[in-house]
Chain A
Amino acid sequence: RKEVEQDPGPFNVPEGATVAFNCTYSNSASQSFFWYRQDCRKEPKLLMSVYSSGNEDGRFTAQLNRASQYISLLIRDSKLSDSATYLCVVGGAGSYQLTFGKGTKLSVIP
């Protein structure tokens, strides 16, 4: 089983749509969870951390379900500028190493 698995994508959605990305992780001892955004040929950048209680940042909402080892990202009212690849990232217990999912590509269409 792969350590971090994401929806294969690509997701092509119209402007204004709501889109959800899902991610599962295999290591039950994982302690930290993130969504990174990567634009084409650019470096990954932190979009948001994911907390057990769930967290929201504007149009973006992240959820964590430790029992199911599942992370989600919801983007409301999609903008053209949201087009990018979204990486699910998991950090281990007692370690600063991160494991990256392969990413899900989102294209927001006018």
Chain B
Amino acid sequence: EAQVTQNPRYLITVTGKKLTVTCSQNMNHEYMSWYRQDPGLGLRQIYYSMNVEVTDKGDVPEGYKVSRKEKRNFPLILESPSPNQTSLYFCASTRTSGGSYNEQFFGPGTRLTVL
């Protein structure tokens, strides 16, 4: 089954304690991205990756890092989480071959609370 998985699904942590949210897709997609979703603000892109070792900032990258060492994995790293990073996070992937835009598949989401 084609899917995007994220772990953990729920996380409560404290300010300053480094954490990583993993994301993996089994569809051999080149393009992956991370979003955060906050009430009244909608989905905002944090980082994206066009392929292995190619990453770039989205609209709200401050306080986040990513890496793309393998095509299937795109972890999101919070080196020093702060309460304003409390949010619902989604990983997404899409196929980019063929030149046209294709459906973006989302993971189930990670609900992060930073105390």
> B-contacting residues of A (Cβ < 8 Å)?
31-32, 41-46, 49, 87, 91, 96-98, 100-103
Q: Is the CB of B94 within 8 A of A44?
A: no
In Å, the complex CA distance between A42 and B111 comes to: 11
| A-contact 0/1 string along B16-45, CB 8 Å cutoff | 000000000000000101010000111111
**Least CB distance, B67 to chain A, in whole angstroms:** 19
B108 at the interface (CB under 8 A from A): yes
Provided the pairs A96-B31, A97-B48 are in contact, do residues A46 and B109 lie with their beta carbons within 8 angstroms? no
Cβ–Cβ contact B94 & A96, under 8 A = yes
Give chain A residues whose Cβ lies under 8 Å from the Cβ of B104.
46, 98
Query: In the complex, which residues of chain B have a beta carbon less than 8 angstroms from the beta carbon of A32?
Result: 100-101
Is the pair B43, A43 in contact by a Cβ cutoff of 8 Å?
no
Contact B42 A43 (CB under 8 A): no
B56 nearest CB neighbor, chain A only = A97
**B74 in the interface, Cβ–Cβ < 8 Å?**
no
Contacts of B35 in A (CB 8 A): 100
Supposing A97-B48, A97-B58 touch, asked if A87 and B108 sit within 8 A by C-beta, the answer is no
**Interface residue B70 (Cβ < 8 Å from any Cβ of A):** no
26 contacts between A and B (CB under 8 A): A31-B101, A32-B100, A41-B109, A42-B108, A43-B90, A43-B108, A44-B43, A44-B90, A44-B106, A45-B106, A46-B104, A87-B42, A87-B43, A91-B101, A96-B31, A96-B48, A96-B50, A96-B94, A97-B45, A98-B104, A100-B42, A100-B43, A101-B42, A102-B40, A102-B41, A102-B42
Query: Assuming A87-B43, A97-B33, what are 9 further A-B pairs, CB within 8 angstroms?
Result: A31-B101, A32-B100, A43-B107, A87-B42, A91-B101, A96-B94, A98-B45, A100-B44, A101-B42
A98 to chain B: which residues have CB within 8 Å?
45, 104
- Considering the chains assembled together, what is the distance between the CA atoms of A13 and B40 in angstroms? 22
Minimum CB–CB distance for B2 against chain A, Å: 13
Contacts of A46 in B (CB 8 A): 103-104
- A100: chain B residues within 8 A (beta carbon): 35, 42-44
Q: Is the CB of A43 within 8 A of B109?
A: yes
B42 CB contact (under 8 Å) in A41, A49, A103: A103
